[in-house]
Structure 1
Amino acid sequence: MSDNNEAETPENLDIPDHLSYSEEHAWVDESASPAIVGITEYAAEQMGELVFVDLPEPGERVESGDEIVELESSKAVQPLVSPVSGTVRYVNHEASDDPSVITNDPYGEGWLLKIELDDDEPDLLTAEEYAKIIR
């Protein structure tokens, strides 16, 4: 671990310790209510420059494992698989209007959804566990 509370990876990518992660490269901030969901810096770098983001509608019900967001870059079209189950309460229209915000600030202004979580505990990884996956 480095001094700035980030897990170390060979690529020196940010993996904030206070977030939880899925194996599909999504992050979840469960300390917020509703929980905030986005893609990791690793995923953003793998995708390249994003040109289009298709977000679900607020009020839509999602299940863990559902493809909930479509991310399109100059390289590929990639779905975001929901790391949690619940109801979408907010979507980040700024990210869909200007997808570069996701690439430039994936853990801040580049968040994608705010989801009111179901009561069941999501099966997510710690920053350290996620760092091992992307090595």
Structure 2
Amino acid sequence: MKTWISKYWHLMLIGFIALIVGGGVLFYFQGSVSSFPASQPQRAQEEPDKNQYEIVTVGVQGDGFYPKNIEVKAGVPTKINFKKMTSFTCIDEVQSLKTGMDVFLDHENNYYTVKDLKPGAYEYNCGMYMYYGTITVK
């Protein structure tokens, strides 16, 4: 007398293999596609002239942005340096829908120019929407 396992083992094997392959594909492509509307992330800019810009540094660590809230002055040319403090972080992109920011982060220093922001609060996030910060313009 055959049991149902011995009768359907080949179907269970195919299902198990499909489950493993599907899980591997999902793991491989996790976070590689951004839902942000920009076509291509911008590369970070070179180090700016400190006499022409106010420079604000945001540390990028494995668990988010530090400080989470930065303040800049309205009308003052400002560059934000998203400085990677570690290579052990999934944060490789910084985005802000309201400011149009979409910057791919290289190692260490990554400058982004803040352009003509009106007073208010502007939220930014990592490319996977896991970590958030705020730019407050006064």
* Structure 2 length-normalised TM: 0.30
Q: Which has the higher contact order (CA 8 A, sep 6+)?
A: 1
Larger-gyration structure (1/2): 2
* Structure 1 length-normalised TM: 0.31
